[in-house]
Amino acid sequence: MPIYHKLGKIPAKRHTVFKSEKGNYYYEQLFGTEGFSGMDSLLYHTHRPTQVKEILRSYSVAPKIAIEKNIKSLLLKGFEIKPTPDFLESRKTLLINGDCAIGLAAPTKSQTDYFYKNADADELLFIHKGKGTLKTFMGNIQFEYGDYLIIPRGMIYQMHFDTTDNRILYCESFAPYYTPKRYKNSQGQLLEHSPFCERDYKLPTDLETHDEKGDFIVKIKKEGMMHEFVYATHPFDVVGWDGYNFPWGFSIHNFEPITGRLHQPPPVHQTFETSTFVVCSFVPRLYDYHPLSIPAPYNHSNIDSDEVLYYVDGDFMSRNNIEQGHITLHPKGIPHGPAPGAMERSIGHKETQELAVMIDTFRPLMVTEEAMGIDDGKYYKSWVE
């Protein structure tokens, strides 16, 4: 995160004695990234956060690859992913490479009997349907339709839902998520031309401190394996913290579109970046205002990246027969563009109400068996007149 935040009680100086009113020590933890050179926060626990009582079991959750080297454009019918009660079991990875894993989830119940930690990847959760609370050891974030949630690796959390009809797009990243560098000044503040500002962020609030001993299950994902640990104390025992590394949210509805006289390229929609891919938000906006402008995107070659588009809501002007929850994959090496007739019918239109999330990866994506199970099988022919 590019801004400083704090919650709860913290000592005046780092790495100094800090005690409760009863005279008990609090235990400091550095929660950092990129060794000791990236974003970090200092947390203060009621109990030592290291007390592992048992490891119950370890099992593979690695997705099964159907196509390792793909060059075929795909359309995946995302809402065909069947709802599943458990949050983790509902997650279905569809596209994956060595940098990220992209998938969908349709959980119907809250996590209440275990906690979860991804030890490998930062997680981006986009809430397509549903509302509730992301609970973490650094505080809570209320979420609803259209919210992105960024959960740093190593974060212990639970998803509590107020609804049963929940749909989530997720992207696990093995490099940290940042806001684009070109939106920020040299000190990290978002600039005036940025399509959002710091006041748009959803920061953690309501720090819940549980001083409890017992058997607490934390499911930890690492290197394609899930490990079930039993800890001796409640994971949410933090009394205070400060720093720059914490979970946060941002609503796609707060992204302010950048428009012009002629069609603007996809980078104007960029919302997040890593060193290996970017995430863009397509939101309702006015079309180009040159008298001869063509609002539909021009044909373009996917030379450097695989393009994944997740369709959320509204009128998807550039494609035919697209519905909510659909995912299209346009692989590198194959040019693509508007569907037949889309360019012509866009001329003269003044605005769009589309809502979509795009993920462009710099390395090719492999296609999983879960993805092939919801593939329409014919999308790659959709440009034939």
Fold of domain 256-377: Jelly Rolls (2.60.120)
pLDDT in tens, the chain (385 residues): 669 999 999 999 999 999 999 999 999 999 998 888 888 999 999 999 999 999 999 999 999 999 999 999 999 999 999 999 999 999 999 999 999 999 999 999 999 999 999 999 999 999 999 999 999 999 999 999 999 999 999 999 999 999 999 999 999 999 999 999 999 999 999 999 999 999 999 999 999 999 999 999 999 999 999 999 999 999 999 999 999 999 999 999 999 999 999 999 989 999 999 999 999 999 999 999 999 999 999 999 889 999 999 999 998 878 888 999 999 999 999 999 999 999 999 999 999 999 999 999 999 999 999 999 999 999 999 999 8
Question: Is 238:44 a contact under the CB 8 Å cutoff?
Answer: yes
Q: Which residues contact 347 (CB under 8 A, 6 or more apart)?
A: 294, 295
User: pTM for the full model?
Assistant: 0.96
- Single out the residue of 247, 82, 93 nearest to residue 159, CA to CA: 247
Token duo for residue 326:
């659909």
Rounded CA separation 102/96 (Å):
6
Give the number of residues written for the chain: 385
Rounded CA separation 118/106 (Å):
19
- Single out the residue of 175, 172, 173, 171 nearest to residue 275, CA to CA: 175
Sign of CA dihedral 7, 13, 19, 25: positive
DSSP state of 285: E
Strand partners, 143: 132
Token duo for residue 306:
């695989």
Question: Is 121:172 a contact under the CB 8 Å cutoff?
Answer: yes
DSSP state letters, 53-67: EEEEEEEE-PPPEEE
Phi, psi dihedral angles at 78 (to 5 degrees): -60, -35
The structural domains of the chain, with segments of one domain joined by +, span 256-377
Rounded CA separation 192/129 (Å):
31
Query: Which residue in this structure is represented by tokens 């508007």?
Result: 338
